[in-house]
Structures are given as structure tokens and as C-alpha cells.
Chains A and B, each alone.
Chain A
Amino acid sequence: MLRFILQRAFYALPLILVIIVVMFTLLHLIPGDPVQALVGDYPVPPAYRQAIEEKYRLNDPFLTQVWNYVTAVLQGDFGYSYQNQRPVLGLILERAPRTILLASVGFAFAIPLGMAIGVITGTTRSATTDKIWTTSALIAYAIPTFWLGQLLVMFFALRLGWFPTQGIGPLVSRAHGFDWVLERGRYLALPALAFAIHEGMRFARIMRASVIDTLSQGYIITARSKGLTRGQIIRRHVLRNSSLPLVTVAGYAFGSALSGAVLLETVFTWPGLGLLMVDSIRLRDNLTVVGVVIFSALAVILMNLLVDILYALLDPRIRTGG
């Protein structure tokens, strides 16, 4: 098992390197003059231009720049954000936990929700029950998250006043301990709910297909011929076997969710990586953009590794095969 993990981790290394190089190259290909972008809509004094170009070594040959960037990134230096006037790494490290929090809480609700709906629709013998749930799930999935977010805000925040409309917490907070958690929870509730509904419906569809597939397997007939009840069969033989595809999809989805749910973070002004990305693109803060993308790529690679491991734990056939 340990060998399996190390092997997968080892394969990921060259991938990371390639991603860094490709991202930097793309950054270089973006049209526009970084010095001009820094100054804004004013003519750039030649002396200033020269100083900047020397400071950031913009006139070095391209390959030298790539080399410098890659070695810097590998040492944890993602460059400096002109717009925020601070190192990109610090910026990412500040934003990332918020995105991770939102994604984790969203997934913590989305996965059980999706599994429950998937199992209900997949195992029911009533065509009506299946249709009602499946259609509702499809409609909920079809609602764009930003609009769903706004609907939730309009209803739960503006009309009922149960939750704040946006942000991650009050500007000044006097709450301590558990009260503080509750206060933060109120800010987290709506974006996490929008997140959970959208992802949960996607998981429900995957789970339903997978449950139906599992039910057609021979070992379900064996289980029936053993005299097990419906509930026992679903709990022991259907749930685990049909959650395998869900692990894959949820793992990858979580990986990409770590790059920030851009629309959702914008709607709720949730200052995570997604919002950072949008702001940085708007302000042409290229090094930050690249930094966020590299971070996201790392997150996806890491999640894939986790999915592989989880898969091996759930399915003994992979353990011996790998």
C-alpha cells in the first residue's frame, strides 16, 4: 500500500514541473506590457521603465526567465504581486483556507445529500418516486450556482433575515469560543448551501446510475437468495460498491473546487481564491493569476492521489492489482 502511494506521488512530480513551465510560458505570451500595466494609463518614464525591467529582470532571455521562475517556485517564491504590494505566496496562503473551508463544508453536505437521493431513486420500485426525485435533482442541478446563490440570499437573508447577505464575517466581532463559530457559521451557511445543492445534485445523478448498475450485478441475486432483507442488501452490498464512481467524481470535483468557486465567491463576496483570481485577472496581476493556477493544479493532483488511495481502500481488487 505504501509502495502504491509513493509510486503515485512520484508520477505526479514531473506533471507539477510541466504545469509550472506551461503557466509561466502562457503568462509570457499574454499581450500587454507589464510595466505599462503597473503604471496604469500614464506614459512610462524611460528611467522608470529601465529600473523596473532591471529589478524584475524582464529583459533576460526567455529561457533564463523560465529557469529563474521555476527554481523560485520550487523554493516557495511565487513572485511579488504589484497590485497587492505583497508576495503572491502569502496572498494565496491567506485566501486558500477560506476556499478550502467553503468547499469542505459544501462537500460535507453534498456527498450525503447526493448519495441519499441516488440510493432512493436507484432502489425504488415506484416509477413515480424515481421520476419526481430525478426530475427535481436535474432541475436543481440546472440552476446556475450564481443565480441559486442570489435566490438563497433574497429569501433567507433579505426576506427572512436569518443569514447575512455576504462576506466571511463581521468587520468587528466580539464573539468568542463557540459563539464565534456560530457567527462564522451564519456567514458560511448560504454559500455552502448553494455549493452543496449544486454539487449534491450532480452526485445524485452519478450515484443513481451506479446504484442501478450495482443492483443488476450477480452478487445482489446471491444476497437475495441468502434471504437478506432489502435494507440489508442496500446497506451491505449496494452502498459501498456503488459509491466507487462517486469517489472519483467527488474527488476530482473537490480538487477543482479548491481553485475557488469563482461565481459563488463573487456572489457572496467570499474572499477566497476564486475572488482573488477574478480580481487579479481584472487588474492584470499576472504573477498572482499564475500562482493561483499553480496552486489549483497542485490541489487537483493531490486530490487525484487521494482518490487513487481511497479507491484502493474501497476496492480490494485494485490493491493487489497496483
Chain B
Amino acid sequence: MTASQIHRPGTAEHLLDVRNLKVCFQVSDRAVRAVDGVDFHVKPAECVGVVGESGSGKSTLIRAISRLMPNLRVSELSGDLRFEGRDILGMSERDIRALRRSQGFSMIFQDPLGYLNPTHRVGRQIAEALSPHSKGESDSQRVHSLLEEVGFSDPKSVAHSFPHELSGGMRQRVMIAIALASDPKLLFADEPTTALDATVQLQVLQTLYRIHKERNMAVVIITHDLGVVAELCDRVYVMQTGKVVETAGTVDLFERPKHSYSARLIELSAHRINFRSAGL
């Protein structure tokens, strides 16, 4: 309780504010520190990128913030995490559910096929994520308008499909529709395009960006692809071995990387872009 009473100058406008987040996993008899004292914040309607190679702790960071920890044994989870000023770690299950249900945060994932239930139709999976509402619009109408919002021209047939009947890009857009169903103020996207074809990647990113702008919704994108960051994000956090090694505006980061690791990441992604344009 005392932590919540401490006044923090300059954080009032933050939608999400994370101080000194530490996460430790117990792997057999060893403690593995996945996130090591990270400070992190997101302003309303802002798009923030978190980059770093696999194992840098970026996914664990947002899993911890959204209280969706993987099934590993968590031996330590500490820090001051606030969403709209409310203490996330101290929140009851019921309150955190309420945040997920409506006007809080949502999440999309790397592998949309594994994250959709194979035995339920798409429409049903979106409908069960809808925020509670009182107005006259029916669930199926809301599902259809969500599907239209993420770029489907025939929402009816998509809603009636099973996940395996859709392409990878379509599935990821269905995931976005599910995430949007609760009218979130903040969307976490964990490697949203890594599992997709290059051409589809761009479409999904464009959809994500359009919705981010139209809804004034804050987005946190986790990625190892600096190209994604360059296209979408206002600010970037660079993570390495559980720590934030650099945080900067996107333009600043690309033009004047302060940390050698950031510079190396930029160099590598430039190489990759060259490969791509060379047709490899």
C-alpha cells in the first residue's frame, strides 16, 4: 500500500509505468533471471517498440506486465507496475480479469494458429472476448464490425470459419480482432509478424498501425526486427540479457545509437534488408 502512495513527479500522464521489474524463473535447481530491473513506460496512444534477440527477456517483460506468465516456476516477480496508476502486481485475479475484459490491455502473439482454439469457429472466439455492453448492438454485429475493422471484406464467412481454414495473415488479423474486442487502451504485440510471409507481414503491420491511429490505442510491439520498429514505433527500448541497455526515440536510435549492442542490431538488420533487396 505504501508504494502506491508515493507521489511520482512526471508519471501522471503515463498509461503504463513499470519500475525496477525483476523476474526470476526456477529452472530445475537454478534461478534464471529473465528480467533484471527494467524501467519501462508507455504513454496513452503511443507506439513503443521493445527489441532484442531471443532470450533478452522482452517477452517475459510483457507477460509479467499483463500477468500472463508462462508455466515455468516463477521464483521472483517484483517491481512497481502501474496501469493508469493502479498497482498491477497487487491486483486481485478478479480485478485483473476486469482489466482484460474491458478498457484495459490485450495481447496478440507470434503464432496465431497455436493461439486460436482449433475446435471453435472464429466468430465465437471473438465474441467471447467482447467487453460487457448494454446497448442494442448484438454480439454478432459487433464481431462483424471488428472483422471489418481488421480488414476483412466478408466478415460473415470469416466468422463462420475454423482457424485452420484461414491463412496465416488472416489468422493474425483475427487475433487482432479478438484483442480489440475488449476496447483496450493498450495492446501488447509479441512478435506479431515473425511467423508470417514477408508480404503478409507488411499487411498485418499496416493494419496494426491504422488501428493504433484510428483508436488512439497505445501499442507495445515486441520484435527482433528493427525494420518493424522503424515503420511503426515512436520510441524504442533495446533489451539485452534482461536489462534495458538503451531507450530512445526511433529516429534517434537509428541515427545515433548510444549502446554498442543497439548499433550492432541496426547493422545486422541493414544487412538483412540488403539481402532482401538482392532477392535472397
Contact = CB atoms under 8 A, between A and B. Distances in A.
Is chain B's interface secondary structure helix, strand, loop, or mixed overall? loop
A150 interface: no
Interface of B: 66, 68, 71, 97-102, 104, 106-107, 109, 111, 114-120, 125, 128-129, 162, 164-165, 175, 178-179, 181-182
A240 B164 CA distance: 17
A225 B100 contact: yes
A218 B119 contact: no
A70 B190 CA distance: 64
Interface stretch (A15-23, A133-141, A312-320): A312-320
Contact of B100 (A226, A232, A320): A226
Interface residues of A, number: 24
A316 B162 contact: yes
Nearest to B107: A225
Most buried by B among A216, A218, A228, A237: A218
A269 to B, nearest CB: 44
B118 A222 contact: no
A225 B181 CA distance: 11
B128 A226 contact: yes
A168 B165 CA distance: 52
Contacts of A216: 71
Contact of B116 (A219, A224, A225): A219
Contacts of B117: 219, 222-223, 237, 241
A226 B115 contact: no
Contacts of A226: 100-101, 128-129, 178, 181-182
Interface string A221-252: 11111111100100011001100000000000
A217 interface: yes
**Closest 10 pairs (CB-CB, A-B):** A227-B100, A227-B101, A218-B114, A218-B115, A226-B129, A219-B117, A316-B162, A227-B97, A225-B107, A222-B115
B184 to A, nearest CB: 10
B83 to A, nearest CB: 14
Contacts of A222: 107, 109, 115-117, 125, 175, 178
B68 A225 contact: yes
Given A219-B116, A241-B119, A317-B162, A228 B178 contact: no
A56 to B, nearest CB: 55
Nearest to A315: B119
A236 B125 CA distance: 10
A241 B118 contact: yes
A224 B68 contact: yes
A219 B99 contact: no
B72 to A, nearest CB: 11
A236 B127 CA distance: 13
Given A222-B125, A223-B128, A236-B120, 11 more contacts: A216-B71, A224-B68, A225-B106, A225-B179, A226-B101, A227-B99, A227-B101, A227-B104, A228-B128, A237-B117, A320-B165
A173 to B, nearest CB: 47
B119 to A, nearest CB: 6
Contacts of A219: 114-118
Contacts of B100: 224-227
B71 A227 contact: no
